[in-house]
Amino acid sequence: MEVFKKIKTESWEALSSRPKIDDNDLNQTVLSILDNVKQNGDEALTAYAKKFDKADLNEFLVTETEIRIANKLVSEELKQAINIAKQNIEKFHNSQFVEEEVVETTSGVECWRRSVGIEKVGLYIPGGSAPLFSTVLMLGIPAKLASCKEIVLCTPCNETGEINPAILYTANLIGINKIYKVGGAQAIAAMAYGTKTIPQVYKIFGPGNQFVTKAKELVQQNGIAIDMPAGPSEVLIIADKTGNPAYIAADLLSQAEHGEDSQVILLTDNENLLNRTLIELNKQLVELPRVEIAKKALLNSKAVLLNNIDECIAFSNLYAPEHLIIASNSSSDYIDSIVNAGSVFLGNYSCESAGDYASGTNHTLPTNGYARNYSGVSLESFQKKITFQKINKEGLKTIGPSIEIMAEAEELYAHKNAVTVRLKDITNV
């Protein structure tokens, strides 16, 4: 990690920038994949499975037999852990149901909203170096709660055409049965455009590598909704003298091991804590199985010494992190000052891993500074809001003249007339 001490505020903007990725070649590569799948459907998917996954696939849909086999391969210990996470995630997302009130905006005019589940949604679950069965919970549970009628799940297989058993177990546990052995940008294309085998969906969710991320970005331009813009995973930790260096180092590394393009940031007003954390970081780093990935991520990462915690909060709000940890015994004092963050972890025992797995909050979060204007995935992400209004004669008599005046001012006379003809009938009754 690169270390910066007592930097001036005018330098914060440059210091808070993410690593730049040259995506010109990426853009063209992904566009060609999207076009191929759009034109050739399952034939293109078969070719990409051979090319990228080294798998000869005759069918993409996972069978009931494969699910039964997978269920037997998952240990009882892991099943129990997944079930605990499932219960907590269900409880948190169930709490997000809101009963919409009917509002009488003026006498005789009633307005309200109704939440309706998006009919067809697609879930992308990474299954390569880190098979993210936890993401099945994070996306599948709110999709089910929202009563989405059709849930399509795509995830890559290995060379023998098998999907990680924990992914299949988790999907089956929450009632998802349309599971397809398709990964990468081609999976996004299949869900966006539909093929003979894979249904087209209305909105696509889920994390992925740079190819998946770019594919989601491009299909959005064609009218397919996505959960949010995405980039490499990140964490920012604000720590004072009451922070625990070993905990902080562990949290930094938990994000660094996600990928070589991940970024981790430490902000503190205590130089002693900064130095002790860096020592602890190097000690823990060499023990990681994914040490080479974490090392490369740390090259993109920074430890910054600022004058006080208020400056750390201000820097964090500028950076807008995906995950924000406040490693302090006084963490709750800063809640109202946090305006840009995907998910916040308060205190020395609120590790980011808890949100990734089992606390109940959703781990699908805005990255790359998008926490300034996007929320993480929630129950509402799988719903759309339909507004209703009911106006009686009294209501139209009350607001009708204002509508007529406004419509005429905009020179939309048919709009005005839609009111006028009704008011004449009401007056003549």
Each residue's pLDDT tens digit, 190-229: 999 999 999 999 999 999 888 999 999 999 998 999 999 8
Listed residues 226, 246, 264: the one ending a domain: 226
Share of the chain above pLDDT 90, in %: 90
Report, as residue numbers or ranges, the catalytic residues.
322-323
Region 396-410: mean pLDDT is 97
What would the pLDDT profile of 3-25 be if each residue is shown by its tens digit?
A: 999 888 999 999 998 877 667 78
Q: Assess whether 126 and 151 both reside in one domain.
A: yes
Q: Assess whether 411 and 339 both reside in one domain.
A: no
What would the pLDDT profile of 101-154 be if each residue is shown by its tens digit?
A: 999 999 999 999 999 999 999 999 998 767 899 999 999 999 999 999 999 999
Q: Assess whether 300 and 414 both reside in one domain.
A: no
Q: Is residue 308 part of a domain?
A: yes
Taking the C-alpha atoms of residue 174 and residue 261, their distance in angstroms, rounded to an integer, is: 32
Q: 65: phi > 0 → left, psi -120 to 50 → alpha, else beta; which?
A: alpha
Q: Is residue 55 part of a domain?
A: yes
Taking the C-alpha atoms of residue 377 and residue 386, their distance in angstroms, rounded to an integer, is: 20
Listed residues 226, 255, 275: the one ending a domain: 226
Q: Assess whether 36 and 181 both reside in one domain.
A: yes
What would the pLDDT profile of 294-323 be if each residue is shown by its tens digit?
A: 999 999 899 999 999 999 999 999 999 999
CB 323 within 8 A of CB 355: yes
Q: What is the pTM of this model?
A: 0.94
Q: Assess whether 44 and 70 both reside in one domain.
A: yes
Computed over every residue of the chain, the mean pLDDT equals 95
Taking the C-alpha atoms of residue 252 and residue 235, their distance in angstroms, rounded to an integer, is: 7
Taking the C-alpha atoms of residue 384 and residue 73, their distance in angstroms, rounded to an integer, is: 38
Cross-strand partners of 3: 303
CA proximity to 252, closest of 320, 296, 301, 209: 301
Q: Assess whether 272 and 330 both reside in one domain.
A: yes
CB 216 within 8 A of CB 191: no
Question: Tokens for 96?
Answer: 């997000």
CATH at residue 168: 3.40.50.1980
What would the pLDDT profile of 146-179 be if each residue is shown by its tens digit?
A: 999 999 999 999 999 999 999 999 999 999 999 9
Question: Tokens for 425?
Answer: 């009938």
Q: Assess whether 34 and 100 both reside in one domain.
A: yes
For residue 154, the enclosing domain spans 24-108+119-226
CB 396 within 8 A of CB 366: no
Question: Tokens for 236?
Answer: 């920012």
Q: Assess whether 330 and 197 both reside in one domain.
A: no
Contacts of 388 (CB under 8 A, 6+ apart): 111, 112, 113, 114
DSSP 180-209: EE--HHHHHHHHHH--SSS---SEEE----
Taking the C-alpha atoms of residue 322 and residue 203, their distance in angstroms, rounded to an integer, is: 22
Q: Assess whether 316 and 213 both reside in one domain.
A: no
What are the Cα distances from residue 234, in Å, to 17, 21, 75, 317? 12, 15, 31, 14
CB 237 within 8 A of CB 248: yes
Cross-strand partners of 205: 123
Q: Is residue 11 part of a domain?
A: no
pLDDT surpassing 90 at residue 97? yes
pLDDT recorded at residue 129: 67
Q: Assess whether 293 and 211 both reside in one domain.
A: no
CB 316 within 8 A of CB 327: no
Q: How confident is the model at residue 69 (pLDDT cuts 50, 70, 90)?
A: very high
Taking the C-alpha atoms of residue 176 and residue 408, their distance in angstroms, rounded to an integer, is: 53
Q: Is residue 3 part of a domain?
A: no
Listed residues 181, 198, 226: the one ending a domain: 226
Largest CA distance in the chain: 87
Count of domains observed in the chain? 3
pLDDT recorded at residue 196: 96
Q: Assess whether 189 and 50 both reside in one domain.
A: yes
Q: Coil, helix or strand for 298?
A: helix
pLDDT surpassing 90 at residue 275? yes
pLDDT recorded at residue 429: 61
Q: Coil, helix or strand for 336?
A: helix
Q: Assess whether 181 and 35 both reside in one domain.
A: yes
More confident residue, 428 or 200: 200
Would you give the DSSP letter of residue 10? G
β-pairing verdict for 109-117 and 383-391:
antiparallel
Region 328-333: mean pLDDT is 97
pLDDT recorded at residue 127: 84
CB 233 within 8 A of CB 343: no
